[in-house]
Amino acid sequence: MLLQEILNSKIKYTVTKETAKSFATQAEVGGRIIQFTAYNDGEQGWSVDFAEVVTKSNRTGPVFGRTGSGSELQVFSMIVDSLKELEARYHPTMITFTADKDGDSDTRAKLYRRLADKYFKGWKREEFNHGNTTHFTYTKEEE
């Protein structure tokens, strides 16, 4: 119940890109910039990811994976809201994303699966592992 309430909290974000083949949002969460991006390749549907955007170190750009900076539930709330907006604007029938292992742990893939299964109710899930990465594909069932 608490997880659902937190994921339903509204994190203010800005749409930073909106074209026929790409959509992006950005928000400040816990003092960090989080960026959600989605790309449509036409055949495989929409591929989505999110990352922290680092601008204050000798390495700038997106940082994928665990940063240990906190505010994870607020980040996921922003991602869910961005997915909802993607769905409302583009009506995707297929969404893909990946989860990389954190060392030997696959807890990230388990978390992403659990959250995505909750969000994509009525969609068919397929997944496969390749090396340290779990690939997820959610396909909207025919109505």
| pLDDT tens, residue by residue, 26-73 | 999 888 888 999 999 887 699 999 888 766 655 554 454 555 555 778
Average pLDDT over residues 112-126: 90
The pLDDT confidence band at residue 1, using thresholds 50, 70 and 90, is: very low
pLDDT (0 to 100) of residue 21: 94
| pLDDT tens, residue by residue, 82-93 | 999 999 999 999
C-alpha 16/C-alpha 53 separation (Å) is 13
C-alpha 9/C-alpha 46 separation (Å) is 25
- Whether residue 101 is predicted with pLDDT greater than 70 in this model: the reply is yes
- Whether residue 125 is predicted with pLDDT greater than 60 in this model: the reply is yes
What average pLDDT does the structure give for the chain? 82
> What angle do helix axes 107-119 and 72-90 make, rounded to 10 degrees?
40
Identity (one letter) of the amino acid at 20? A
C-alpha 82/C-alpha 121 separation (Å) is 17
Inter-residue contact 110 to 102 (CB < 8 Å):
no
